[in-house]
């Protein structure tokens, strides 16, 4: 039953409740056969020249979890790994970090990220969204350091942590 003032939108021909982020029904599909989890799963990518951080939402789309780093030096293998991730995990949207300049301008790194985002879309058939990633690596390193992770272990984890920060910010923004 849809409550007063609640909006319903159609996704794949089925109504989806929206505007109830705090309710136990948020993120579920209402259908004639009952309630089922919405089939939206996202992954964020923090693109580096050598290491690529990846984070994936949990099955409910509430939290971001970092995954093992991918090798960024072999573009073909990287795209194949992302296509496998999309297929195996049911990813319906990739977020690619867009490293804008501090003044908001698009520099060479941002242009590389935009070209990479298009390559991900072409290789996976999944929607790709560019998302401002300014200072996420700095924030991820700070959080790791504050959590007692430093030195080499921090360097190994910072890209995945940055991808998780990007994804969690996106998830939180969707919930309002």
At 80-110, the pLDDT tens digits run 999 999 999 999 999 999 888 888 888 898 8
Sign of CA dihedral 8, 9, 15, 19: negative
Decide if domain 42-175 falls under CATH 3.30.9.10: no
What pTM was computed for the model? Answer: 0.74
Name every residue whose Cβ is closer than 8 Å to that of residue 137 and which is 6 or more positions away in sequence.
Answer: 46, 158, 159, 162
pLDDT tens-digit readout, 145-164 = 888 887 777 677 888 888 99
Q: Per residue in 54-82, pLDDT tens?
A: 999 998 888 999 999 999 999 999 999 99
The residue extents of the domains of the chain are: 7-37, 42-175
């Amino acid at each position: 039953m849809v409550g007063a003032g609640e909006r319903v939108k159609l996704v794949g021909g089925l109504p989806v409740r929206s505007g109830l982020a705090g309710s136990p029904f948020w993120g579920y599909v209402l259908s004639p056969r009952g309630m089922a989890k919405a089939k939206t799963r996202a992954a964020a990518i923090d693109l580096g020249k050598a290491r690529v951080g990846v984070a994936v939402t949990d099955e409910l789309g509430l939290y971001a979890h970092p995954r093992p780093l991918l090798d960024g030096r072999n573009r073909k293998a990287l795209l194949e790994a992302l296509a496998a991730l999309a297929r195996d995990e049911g990813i319906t949207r990739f977020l690619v970090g867009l490293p804008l300049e501090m003044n908001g301008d698009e520099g060479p790194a941002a242009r590389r990220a935009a070209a990479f985002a298009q390559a991900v879309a072409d290789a996976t058939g999944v929607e790709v969204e560019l998302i401002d990633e300014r200072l996420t690596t700095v924030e991820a390193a700070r959080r790791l350091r504050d959590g007692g992770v430093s030195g080499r272990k921090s360097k190994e984890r910072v890209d995945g942590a940055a991808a998780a920060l990007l994804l969690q910010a996106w998830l939180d923004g969707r919930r309002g």
